[in-house]
């Protein structure tokens, strides 16, 4: 991906070409909080195995969405012990979660809109013990009717996309 915005211009075409969109880069979906540490100075501690597999790096800012409480926060990643399957909220973030809460950790990046079809964010889903149970990816294509979105499993097979169910 290259950044095409290299100089200022008043032209509408140039502004459209330079439109940057914030998109999902990686996601740990349904990982469980293993510990909270109010007295540590901020961040979320993750098992390096989980971060590396999804594409989340140390010191990267991430959004954290608590599925139990609805709380949403932003903090940065530090690495815990490899193989520990840890997910520890530190500092002020510790006030938003309890051990056992299920959270979604999402990293993002800014890209030129036309590069969206080059993205393949990795999504890991977890069981109660924070073992990875699914390895998914998102893909966007441009079809005859506009954007087409797909969720693929690790074999490249399209997965169903949640639709309106009429429940709740």
Cα torsion 120, 132, 90, 93: sign: positive
Contacts of residue 10, defined as CB under 8 A and 6 or more positions apart, other chains included, come to none
Per the annotation, the verdict on 43 as an active-site residue is: yes
Q: To which residue do tokens 């032209």 refer?
A: 11
Q: How far apart are the first and last CA of the chain?
A: 41
Per the annotation, the verdict on 40 as an active-site residue is: no
Residue 53 DSSP one-character state: H
**Contact assessment for residue 75 and residue 62, using Cβ atoms and an 8 Å cutoff:** yes
Q: Residue 125 has which token pair?
A: 């889903």
Considering just the CA atoms, what is the radius of gyration of the chain in Å? Answer: 18
Q: Which of 76, 110, 147, 150 is catalytic?
A: 76
Q: Residue 96 has which token pair?
A: 């938003």
Annotated catalytic residues are 43, 76
């Amino acid at each position: 991906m290259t950044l095409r915005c290299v100089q200022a211009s008043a032209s509408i075409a140039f502004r459209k070409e330079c439109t940057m969109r914030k998109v999902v880069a990686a996601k740990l979906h349904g990982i469980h909080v293993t510990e909270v540490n109010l007295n540590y100075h901020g961040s979320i501690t993750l098992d390096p195995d989980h971060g590396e597999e999804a594409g989340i790096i140390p010191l990267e800012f991430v959004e954290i969405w608590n599925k139990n409480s609805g709380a949403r926060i932003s903090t940065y990643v530090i690495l815990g012990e490899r193989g520990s399957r840890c997910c520890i909220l530190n500092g002020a973030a510790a006030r938003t979660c309890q051990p056992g809460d299920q959270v979604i950790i999402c990293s993002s990046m800014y890209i030129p809109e036309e590069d969206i079809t080059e993205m393949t964010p990795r999504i890991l889903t977890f069981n109660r013990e924070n073992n990875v149970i699914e390895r998914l990816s998102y893909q966007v294509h441009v079809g005859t009717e506009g954007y087409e979105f797909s969720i693929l499993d690790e074999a490249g097979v399209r997965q169903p996309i949640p639709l309106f169910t009429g429940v709740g």
